[in-house]
Amino acid sequence: MKNLYKKLICPSIVILSLISCTDNLNLSPISQISNASFWTSDNDANGALYGMYVQMRAEASERLFLWGEARSEIWTQNFGMDPSVALQVFLNSLSKSNPGPDWTGMYTTMHSANLILKYVPGISFASESQKKSILAQAHAMRAFLYFTMAKTWGDIVLVTEPTEGYDPNTIFKERSSQTEVFTLIKKDIDDALSLFPDNNFPSGRNIWSKPAVNAMKGDVYLWTAKRLNGGNADLTIALNALNEVETSDVVLLPKFSDIFSYSNKGNKEIIMAVKFLMNESPTHTIYGGVTGINAPSAPSTDQAVIDKILPFSGKSTYWQISDLVANQFIDDDSRKAGTVLIVFRTVGEETTRMYNLDQKFPGIISANVRQAYDDFVIYRYADILLLRAEVKNALGQDPSADINKVRQRAYGDNYINHIFVNATKDENDEIILQERLFELTHEGKRWWDLVRFGKAFEKVPTLQSQAGKDYLLLFPIGESILSLEPKIVQNPGY
């Protein structure tokens, strides 16, 4: 966070030092000049809103995936390896010296949301609904950022005003409890829902909307029901919010792989995604290098397999889908072909399994190079159906309809052999958790799912010998943050 403060404050200090020797100049502080000249029109507000989403895209390029999935059982080592990040995360060997990605970028995006919430109310708009929509999106973004950080680190520093001056008494803060953090998250969600003028999706479905905020509301209240003793009261609110999502223009696409096609961005299964676009944005770091289709060669002689592998991006692929997970997919399930390609090499009569390549986010081919411009999907309709199944099961209701709706698309003509039948709560939970694995692998969800279901120490091989060390469910706070933030205390256990 302090790096952000330096970026904001240092230019002002330089300019003020230049003018301080001229006593007869009656100038306002630089920050006041900037705010007075910028926050004057609806164009300024829209520009700030766009900037907020650009900052969010930087977090979605890598960090949202690392926090939300990388510590699960899905990933293991592949051709290349970045020991400073990749190895520590998926081996669950994080420490204060190797903590994984920090929260600096999240607070940068938070600052933009806070600026919008402070200054946009004072701007006159030609359209009052546009003004309300901008404020709603800022509330939604702040809620999402805090939700992600609370799941990652637990207690979090609450910042609800933009940082516009250097005052150690206000910028250096202790972390607030999760109870306080989730109180703000829920209030921001309610404020956003009250401000959105309608239940429609924007073109592209890549900014916050009322259906997307209802999806987040269901997610948040399910989390607090299970992790913060919210019980049936929170489960009921979650169920109502997820039901509201279904009143919007959402469907399951007939073909699983079409959801993620570059030419089909913003389709009707998508509820909220972070957009990556050729010639507009940087490529997606995770999809392009860490987990992408970057095999250095195509060992198979099967032309259909070769076509799926080549061309590659020229980078080393650090991770691959683990055999543990890849082997759980069956051929009847269309999600197998849309998620993982198991590559074999045959020499003479000997066949060797080589690696498991991602198929969900293949990118696009440009100038004979694979480019990672796939969107990072935050919420889609199948995710909502399985969240609702989880909520219903926790409430003692039958989750069959939602599970079977997802399975019917997945198994197609073979669906009759895979119809889900309601069983005990524990048995249903096991099925729902596995269904989410099949449906959402590589979408930044699995670690959160394992924590929410209380299954991390059971399902993740690197954690199975560490049962009882619940502090491992949170990320450590890095030494760089601790050195810059004197009031921040390390998470217990690290």
DSSP 300-361: ---HHHHHHH-S--SSPP-EEE-HHHHTT--TT-HHHHTTEEEEEEEETTEEEEEEEEE-S-
In terms of phi and psi (left: phi > 0; alpha: psi -120 to 50; beta: otherwise), the region of 229 is left
pLDDT tens sequence for the chain (494 residues): 434 333 333 333 333 333 333 333 344 444 444 665 789 999 999 999 999 999 999 999 999 999 999 999 999 887 655 555 556 788 899 999 999 999 999 999 999 999 999 999 999 999 999 999 999 999 999 999 999 999 999 999 999 999 887 777 778 999 999 999 999 999 999 999 999 999 999 999 999 999 999 999 999 999 999 999 999 999 999 999 999 999 999 999 999 999 999 999 999 999 999 999 887 877 777 776 665 555 555 566 677 777 777 666 555 567 889 999 999 999 999 999 999 988 887 778 888 888 888 889 888 887 777 788 899 999 999 999 999 999 999 999 999 999 999 999 999 999 999 999 999 999 999 999 999 999 999 999 999 999 999 999 999 999 999 999 999 999 999 999 999 999 999 999 99
**Separation of alpha carbons 373 and 70, rounded Å:** 20
pLDDT at 26: 41
In terms of phi and psi (left: phi > 0; alpha: psi -120 to 50; beta: otherwise), the region of 278 is beta
**Separation of alpha carbons 205 and 269, rounded Å:** 10
For residue 193 the two structure tokens come to 């829902």
pLDDT at 309: 73
Measuring CA to CA, which residue among 284, 458, 270 is closest to residue 358? 284
**Separation of alpha carbons 189 and 156, rounded Å:** 18
pLDDT at 8: 37
Cβ-based neighbours of 343, under 8 Å, separated by 6 or more: 295, 299, 300, 305, 309, 353, 354, 355, 356, 357
**What element of type H or E holds 365?**
strand 364-366
pTM of the model: 0.90
Q: Classify the C-alpha dihedral 117-123-128-133 as positive or negative.
A: negative
CA–CA–CA angle 422, 253, 419 (5° rounding): 20
267 exposure class (CB count in 10 Å sphere: 0-12, 13-18, 19+): middle
CB 235 within 8 A of CB 222: yes
CB 399 within 8 A of CB 390: yes
pLDDT at 14: 30
- Distance of alpha carbon 291 from the chain centroid: 16
CB 474 within 8 A of CB 155: no
**Separation of alpha carbons 142 and 148, rounded Å:** 10
**Separation of alpha carbons 411 and 332, rounded Å:** 6
Residue 200, number of CB atoms within 10 A of its CB: 11
